[in-house]
């Protein structure tokens, strides 16, 4: 079995609406993503996947989230959301609460859609804390 891992990073703010602790407040992270792919066979060039391709696709996902506010849909009052949009803030609205656990599944699913042999994604909120999603 062969495996390869690539990493991506982005800086973004989020908050956990409804959370009973300090993470209910707007705060930011240097998010770090590790995507691991596995397979039994290599291509004719001796590669499981071309690092150029997986790095590009992971970077594209990270760049979309970089320097934005990531929030669950309908977690702000409409007037607050409208005011932020009016100010020109970059906001990524998700169908999930933006936790490391949910982001691990999000990145896994997005890379799987591109038909990579993805087996695991780790999402680090901090250098010491991460969540893992495997199928």
Q: Rounded to whole angstroms, how far apart are CA atoms 52 and 55? A: 5
| Residue span of the structural domain in which 117 resides | 2-67+98-134
Is residue 78 in some structural domain?
no
Is residue 25 in some structural domain?
yes
Catalytic residues: 23, 67, 125
Is residue 53 in some structural domain?
yes
Among 103, 6, 4, which residue's Cα sits nearest to residue 56?
6
As separate numbers, helices (DSSP H) first and strands (DSSP E) second, the chain gives: 3, 6
Is residue 9 in some structural domain?
yes
CB atoms inside a 10 Å sphere around CB 9: 13
- Domain count of the fold of the chain: 1
Is residue 80 in some structural domain?
no
- Which residues are bridge partners to 91 per DSSP? 69
- pLDDT tens digits, the chain, 135 residues: what are they? 999 999 999 999 999 999 999 999 999 999 999 999 999 999 999 999 999 999 999 999 999 999 999 999 999 999 999 999 999 999 999 999 999 999 999 999 999 999 999 999 999 999 999 999 998
Is residue 87 in some structural domain?
no
Is residue 31 in some structural domain?
yes
CB atoms inside a 10 Å sphere around CB 20: 7
Residue 14 sits in a domain whose CATH number is 3.30.479.10
Among 124, 76, 80, which residue's Cα sits nearest to residue 99?
124
């Amino acid at each position: 079995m062969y495996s390869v891992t690539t990493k991506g990073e982005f800086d973004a703010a989020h908050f956990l609406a409804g959370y009973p602790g300090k993470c209910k407040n707007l705060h930011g992270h240097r998010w770090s993503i590790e995507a691991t792919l596995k397979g039994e066979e290599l291509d004719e060039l001796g590669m499981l996947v071309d690092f150029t391709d997986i790095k590009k696709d992971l970077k594209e996902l990270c760049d979309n989230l970089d320097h934005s506010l990531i929030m669950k849909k309908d977690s702000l009052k409409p007037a607050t959301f409208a005011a932020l949009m009016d100010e020109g803030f970059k906001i990524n609205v998700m169908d999930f609460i933006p936790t490391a656990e949910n982001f691990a599944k999000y990145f896994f699913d997005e890379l799987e859609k591109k038909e990579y042999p993805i087996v695991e994604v780790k999402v680090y909120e901090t250098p010491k804390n991460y969540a893992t999603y495997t199928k």
